[in-house]
Amino acid sequence: MFKDKKVVFSGVQPSGDLTIGNYLGAIKNFKTFSEEYYCLYCVVNEHAITVRQNPAELRKRTYETLALYMACGLDPEKNTLFVQSHVPAHAELGWILDCYTMFGELSRMTQFKDKSAKNADNINAGLFTYPSLMAADILLYQTEMVPVGVDQKQHLELTRNIAERFNQVYGETFVVPEGYIPQTTAKIMSLSEPTKKMSKSDENENAVVRILDPKDVIIRKFKRAVTDSGSEIRRGEGKDGIMNLMSIYGAFTGKTEEEIEREFEGKGYGDFKMAVGEACADALAPVQAEFARLAADKAYLETVMEKGAEDASRLAARTMSKVRRKLGFVELGRK
């Protein structure tokens, strides 16, 4: 607990242009914690290099992800917004936690299996130990709550196991965190293959709506979205495409599934897809405008990064000092 508030931590990889899955599953919810909790939101660039990145692109996306956090309403005065590589304690604790994470546990991670299949020529050790670095991100700040999409649930459960294991050996060291997974938007699906997660690294551009896509592109992508052979806007078996569009429409308009079904009674898929596209583009327009303003001011983004790194480092140092002492690492200058 810092400043008498419970801690919220989450992170986004700057590994591609962010999608409405990232927005609805995670970033949009970050703001709801800002008043009550001490919130840290990190651009996790160290995680991103588990897959080969173009350095210039990675640098650019790091600024952009920070600007998007702010464009989505995160005030840097009320939240600690920072970049992972600016706080070396993440990598340090990551290594330590590697030694408290079992090979068998890491082997069971579905994200590792998926990413190894996609990057068969680069199944590096970092890809394998990714979850212990993620555990370090979270445990470093004595985090109570982690808002994420459902694809991160397995990593969170592993984080809890690592924390409990460490606490059992060394006595209370880490807070054991809980996940906060939204109900209807925990897994936004691909528009082309609605049984698959919408992913920022998807090679099929029509499958993904990006937060910064212009309105005409958003509408075109929704128009092309794969639906089933029926014609009714209703939930049901085999209606993955329609149910995905209903979750997206509901999230952007605040309407419930029943309300959506009633609104589109007697109407066809074409009308519905158009409405989803319009609602999505309208909701993202203010985020895009604010992003354009912020992204143009690199110097300002750097001052936010600097302040964020300072605050995060100070908090991380407290946990690290405790961890080193418990492990038996000699600390100098503690007379």
- Is the CB of 188 or the CB of 211 nearer to ligand TYM? 188
Q: Nearest CA to 74 among 33, 16, 20?
A: 33
- Is the CB of 48 or the CB of 323 nearer to ligand TYM? 48
Find how far residue 12's CA is from the centre of its chain. Answer: 4
Q: Nearest CA to 197 among 147, 148, 157, 142?
A: 148
**Residue 241 binds ligand TYM, judged by CB under 6 A:** no
Has 335 been annotated as catalytic?
no
Q: Nearest CA to 295 among 21, 60, 97, 137?
A: 60
Q: Sketch the per residue contact string, 141 through 160, with ligand TYM: x for CB under 6 A, - otherwise.
A: -----x-xx-xx--x-----
Ordered DSSP codes for 28-58: HHHGGGTTTSEEEEEE-HHHHTTS---HHHH
**Which pair of structure tokens corresponds to residue 117?**
């299949």
Please state the closest distance from residue 246 (CB atom) to ligand TYM, in A.
14
Rounded distance between C-alpha atoms, residue 60 and residue 308, angstroms: 18
**Residue 10 binds ligand TYM, judged by CB under 6 A:** yes
Compute CA distances 69 → 42, 186, 270, 291, whole Å.
9, 19, 33, 9
Has 28 been annotated as catalytic?
no
Cβ burial, residue 17 (10 Å; 0-12/13-18/19+) = middle
Has 200 been annotated as catalytic?
yes
**Residue 281 binds ligand TYM, judged by CB under 6 A:** no
Size of the site for ligand TYM (CB under 6 A): 25
Please state the closest distance from residue 110 (CB atom) to ligand TYM, in A.
12
User: What residue number has its CB nearest to ligand TYM?
Assistant: 25
Of the candidate residues 8, 13, 89, 239, the single one contacting ligand TYM (CB under 6 A): 13
**Range in contact with ligand TYM (rule: CB under 6 A) among 8-16, 73-81, 119-127, 317-325:** 8-16
Please state the closest distance from residue 267 (CB atom) to ligand TYM, in A.
26
Q: Nearest CA to 76 among 34, 43, 139, 15?
A: 34
- What single-letter amino acid sits at 294? L
Residue of 28, 31, 187, 200 marked catalytic:
200
Of the candidate residues 127, 198, 209, 248, the single one contacting ligand TYM (CB under 6 A): 198
Chain residues in the site for ligand TYM (CB under 6 A): 9-13, 21-22, 25-26, 44, 47, 134, 137-138, 146, 148-149, 151-152, 155, 186-188, 197-198
List, by residue number, the catalytic residues. 115, 197, 200
